[in-house]
Amino acid sequence: MSVRTLELTSNLPLPTMMLGALGSIALAYALIWIYTLLTVRSRPVLEGKKILVLIAHPDDEAMFFAPTMLGITNPSSRNDVRVLCLSTGNSAGLGKTRARELEKSCQAIGVQPGKIESLDHPALQDSMSITWDPTVVSQQIQKYLSTEKTEVDVILTFDTRGISSHPNHKSCLMGAKSYASSTNKRAARKDTPISLYTLTTTSFFRKYAGIFDSPFTLFDANFALGRQMKHYKAELRKRGIDTRDERARGVLVYMNSPLQLIKSQRAMRKHESQMVWFRWGWIFLSRYMVLNDLRRVSPVDMDD
């Protein structure tokens, strides 16, 4: 840049410089969004599956899983989606209200009425200090599916860190693993085992990076799975599991378009009792409102 150019730039009014900077940020925002949307469309998705979304509290479905929910409930995916919430979130005595809000939110996202259930089990109460018994969680999954007279192909839930380190979130995974493991051992499910996917927890800074987290997510999705496959390849082959199939289905990425983001935010606002000031920050800043990546739990880890 010449001295003359530097002088001209330095003489620009501050508002003009600020507008230029904001314009550059907006352009970067749009380009990253478009690139990620195009990239995600080429990745595998869940289609023609019976899916159970297992969450701990009303609002988890919109606060954390909204991009996934909108993807799997899209009519073109031909999925049968059910939501099982293991508690009513009654820690503040608002359980009945929150259960109603869950139904409104799920329907706004695209889940059919009658396929949304929230439990009020004495051993599965909302608490920041209680880890739920995985056996109880597994039993409640079995009871719910038996009552609905259905089975599932896929379970989606939290990972080992539970996004926010909430013990109830972590308990969802342990219970889901227990249920899937015991079910997959039945002869009738030998050729059609349940697949278990977990929503990836990110660092604090990535959590609030919004769309700007997408390059990191795509990088992680492409390379982290390779490391995992290298670790498990020998054991998978020993069990007769096709490692190519495992790699193809190992990571799912769902991303909202701008219109889907608005729909996700609208679903979150259905939880009126939870819309305190910091929820608004989450709605507008969190990458989980825009982008989800889910890792398939390896059959090697299913029995842990």
The number of CA neighbours under 13 Å toward the Cβ of 225 is 23
Q: What is the mean pLDDT of the chain?
A: 85
Instruction: Name the CATH superfamily housing domain 45-296.
Output: LmbE-like (3.40.50.10320)
pLDDT digit string, tens, across residues 45-81: 899 999 999 999 999 999 999 999 999 999 999 999 9
Degrees, nearest 5: CA angle 59-57-94: 85
Q: What's the whole-number mean pLDDT along residues 78-102?
A: 95
Spatial CA neighbour of 96 closest among 124, 132, 58, 39 = 58
Chain-centre distance for alpha carbon 268 = 14
Residue 299, pLDDT above cutoff 90: no
Tell me the C-alpha distance between 11 and 6, whole Å: 9
pLDDT of residue 6: 47
CB 163 within 8 A of CB 169: yes
Element (H, E) at 149: none
pLDDT digit string, tens, across residues 281-298: 999 999 999 999 999 887
Tell me the C-alpha distance between 236 and 130, whole Å: 35
Q: Tell me the pTM.
A: 0.86
What does the DSSP 8-state code read for residue 73? Answer: T
pLDDT digit string, tens, across residues 98-114: 999 999 999 999 999 99
For the four alpha carbons of 275, 280, 286 and 289, in that order, the dihedral sign comes to positive
pLDDT of residue 254: 95
> Where does 73-133 have alpha helices with state H?
95-109
Banded pLDDT at 16 (limits 50, 70, 90): low
Chain-centre distance for alpha carbon 143 = 24
Query: What proportions of the chain, in percent to the nearest 5, are helix, strand and coil?
Result: 55, 10, 30
CB 126 within 8 A of CB 168: yes
Degrees, nearest 5: CA angle 299-303-304: 115
Write down the number of H helices and E strands in the chain. 13, 7
Banded pLDDT at 187 (limits 50, 70, 90): low
Enumerate the domain spans of the chain: 1-42, 45-296
